[in-house]
Amino acid sequence: MKKKTALQELEFKAVRSGGAGGQHVNKVSTKIELSFDVENSQALSRNQKERLYRQLGTRLTKDHVLHLACEETRSQHRNKDLVIKRFFETMRAELRVPKVRQRTKPKRSAIEKRLKSKKRNAEKKARRQKPKRE
């Protein structure tokens, strides 16, 4: 993903925050809503877009637009910085391709060690039983 191109494609909207506030809260728009159009993005390759459609399926709109919002602070600029940071963290996490696990076989010595341990425990438990009468 090209960071600079993606940053230019972001759309921001400042709206009024919800919740308790005071005299100031009804006059200022401190909540920031970020929109990113995944489908029309030039910053993403076709494979990356397909991956995001699968990974972010429920978080995307029908038009493949990702919406994020931030209203943590009382500063519009700080909220904008936070939502941009959250956007790039989300992108990094969802675009990361997990490493394919290589199936391995336990070493012969490990198998022998495990079997010896099982045998030892079985003998230990067998010795705890009362002797059989004949």
> What pLDDT was estimated at residue 131?
79
CA neighbor of 52 nearest in space, from 84, 3, 11, 97: 97
d(CA 35, CA 29): 17
Indicate whether this model's pTM tops 0.75: no
- The domain locations on the chain are 3-95
Question: Higher confidence at residue 5 or residue 120?
Answer: 120
> What pLDDT was estimated at residue 67?
93
What is the mean pLDDT of the segment spanning 30-51?
91
> What pLDDT was estimated at residue 103?
92
Q: For 14, list phi and psi in degrees, rounded to 5.
A: -100, 125
> What pLDDT was estimated at residue 87?
93
Q: What is the pLDDT of residues 68-112, one digit of tens each?
A: 999 888 888 999 999 999 999 999 999 998 899 999 999 999 999
Contact 87, 32 (CB under 8 A): no
Q: What is the pLDDT of residues 1-40, one digit of tens each?
A: 788 888 888 999 998 887 666 677 677 888 999 999 998 9
Partnered with residue 81 across adjacent β-strands are none
> What pLDDT was estimated at residue 16?
85
Fold of 3-95: Double Stranded RNA Binding Domain (3.30.160)
> What pLDDT was estimated at residue 21?
65
Place of tokens 């070493």: 107
